[in-house]
């Protein structure tokens, strides 16, 4: 599908995003969201391939003077088309399940050798699949997991490369549900216990101490905690090398945040600050750096397109009810997360505004996208876009209330490609037995 490039007006929302108004209609790159809604219906996820690629290249450029591999965090958005897009550019992948491993295999098989496997509860079958795929590294999160990894490696007659995910006890200012670097969290191994575990693992012929891993959380906007965590990891690596271990990789995790507001956002500058912080923490260390960005690559590249069904008043409250719901995008209900909500048709001049709750049709009071939000006045049938929805949108979606999940579109320039069809009732009922 092609849309002619048209005259661009003043971008609104921010030019940090690929969603801009052209001739008063919101576009993703050069493709009209109105035309996408007419062709594919709503709710609809729309992503810009151009911005995803540009964000990936920001990391490649910022770390070009250091041996590194950018391992995209699959959990942020696991679309096969997006994985293939990144894999063909040289990305590795950070996975947290056997299912995500299979997605990498289907999307870009050569990238299996650049996969790191994280997560606190790996099962034997998942470890077996990853060993057979000869992934780069297991990020081990407990002593019991280390034992299981050795057992499965022996059973398959393969040597397992691993890194202990150490917990540096560094505070990161973020939502408590996505903070992972403190001793009170379920993730990782106490950094003070790591040296003994590496010593023990080195006695097994089936385990290869390959790296050290750390991840302190998600949606972190300040870079100082990254430097602090890496400084502690670097100190541990020095001790491990003195113990005779050959540590070839330091996995810095992910977690670099974005701005979900409508404020200007300089992505390149943010990545440069992040790189400077990591390099400060890694001073003098020559091991290959593994990076696990997820949200930063895909969040602002995506939007959830939805149509207004009803505008109603209950007493003094106004509700804008859309055909998208919490099952399509749960972040506002789960984290009270903020997403900018803009009309697809740009209002003329100083158009009337209303203050309303923007909600879905799911039978839950928690089914909302915004509360008491000032937005342009809309009416039934109008299209609105929830911005910055490219990460933890579709991957956290569900079929609650027996609602089929949305279709997904990947846009590059003036080309729009359907990368996931809308689910049907047949899809929903197919696994059930009556």
* Residue 420 near residue 414 (C-beta atoms within 8 A): no
Percent helix / strand / coil, the chain, rounded to 5: 35, 25, 40
DSSP 429: H
| Buried-exposed string 241-263: b where 16+ CB fall within 10 A, e elsewhere | eeeebebbbbbbbbbbbbbbebe
E strands, 2-67, where? 19-22, 25-28, 31-32, 44-48
C-alpha–C-alpha distance, residues 162 and 380, integer Å: 55
HSE value, Cβ hemisphere, 13 Å, CA-based, for 269: 7
Neighbouring CB atoms inside 10 A of 23's CB total: 11
Task: Give the residues across from 217 on adjacent strands.
Answer: 179
Nearest residue to 310 (alpha-carbon basis) of 256, 250, 356, 272: 356
Closest C-alpha to 83, from 118, 107, 51, 117:
107
Q: Are 25 and 346 in contact (CB under 8 A)?
A: yes
- What number of residues does the chain have? 434
d(CA 342, CA 263): 14
d(CA 36, CA 74) in angstroms, rounded, equals: 26
Phi, psi of 182, rounded to the nearest 5 degrees:
-100, 160
28 flagged as catalytic? no
- Catalytic residue chosen out of the listed positions 28, 71, 241, 363: 363
C-beta atoms surrounding 156 within 10 Å: 14
Q: How far is CA 29 from the centre of its chain?
A: 21
Catalytic positions, written as ranges = 363
């Amino acid at each position: 599908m092609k849309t002619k490039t048209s005259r661009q007006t003043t971008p609104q929302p921010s030019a940090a995003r690929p969603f801009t108004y052209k001739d008063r209609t919101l576009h993703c790159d050069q493709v009209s969201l109105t035309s996408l809604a007419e062709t594919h219906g709503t709710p609809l996820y729309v992503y810009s391939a151009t911005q995803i690629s540009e964000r990936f290249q920001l990391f490649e450029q910022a770390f070009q003077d250091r041996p590194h591999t950018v391992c995209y965090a699959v959990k942020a958005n696991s679309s096969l088309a997006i994985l293939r897009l990144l894999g063909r550019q040289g990305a590795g992948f950070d996975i947290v399940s056997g299912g995500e491993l299979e997605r990498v295999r289907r999307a870009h098989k050569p990238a299996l050798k650049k996969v790191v496997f994280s997560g606190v509860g790996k099962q034997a079958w998942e470890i077996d699949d990853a060993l057979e795929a000869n992934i780069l590294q297991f990020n081990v999160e407990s002593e019991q997991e280390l034992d299981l990894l050795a057992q499965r490696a022996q059973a398959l007659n393969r040597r397992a490369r691993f890194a202990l995910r150490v917990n540096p006890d560094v505070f990161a200012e973020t939502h408590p549900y996505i903070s992972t670097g403190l001793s009170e969290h379920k993730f990782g191994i106490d950094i003070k216990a790591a040296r003994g575990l590496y010593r023990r693992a080195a006695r097994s012929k089936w385990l290869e101490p390959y790296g050290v891993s750390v991840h302190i959380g998600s949606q972190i906007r300040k870079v100082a905690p990254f430097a602090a965590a890496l400084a502690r990891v670097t100190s541990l690596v020095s001790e491990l090398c003195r113990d005779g271990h050959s540590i070839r990789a330091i996995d810095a995790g992910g977690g670099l945040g974005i701005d979900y507001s409508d404020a200007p956002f300089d992505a390149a500058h943010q990545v440069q600050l992040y790189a400077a912080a990591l390099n400060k923490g890694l001073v003098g260390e020559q091991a290959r750096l593994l990076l696990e960005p997820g949200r930063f690559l895909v969040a602002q590249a995506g939007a959830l397109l939805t149509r207004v069904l009803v505008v109603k008043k209950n007493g003094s409250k106004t509700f804008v009810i859309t055909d998208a719901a919490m099952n399509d995008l749960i972040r506002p209900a789960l984290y009270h997360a903020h997403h900018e909500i803009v009309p697809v048709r740009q209002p003329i001049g100083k158009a009337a505004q209303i203050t309303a709750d923007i909600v879905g049709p799911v039978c839950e009071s928690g089914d909302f996208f915004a509360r008491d939000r000032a937005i342009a006045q809309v009416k039934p049938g109008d299209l609105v876009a929830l911005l910055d929805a490219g990460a933890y949108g579709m991957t956290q979606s569900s079929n609650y209330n027996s609602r089929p999940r949305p279709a997904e579109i990947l846009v590059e320039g003036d080309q729009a490609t359907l990368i996931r069809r809308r689910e049907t009732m047949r899809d929903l009922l197919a696994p059930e037995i009556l």
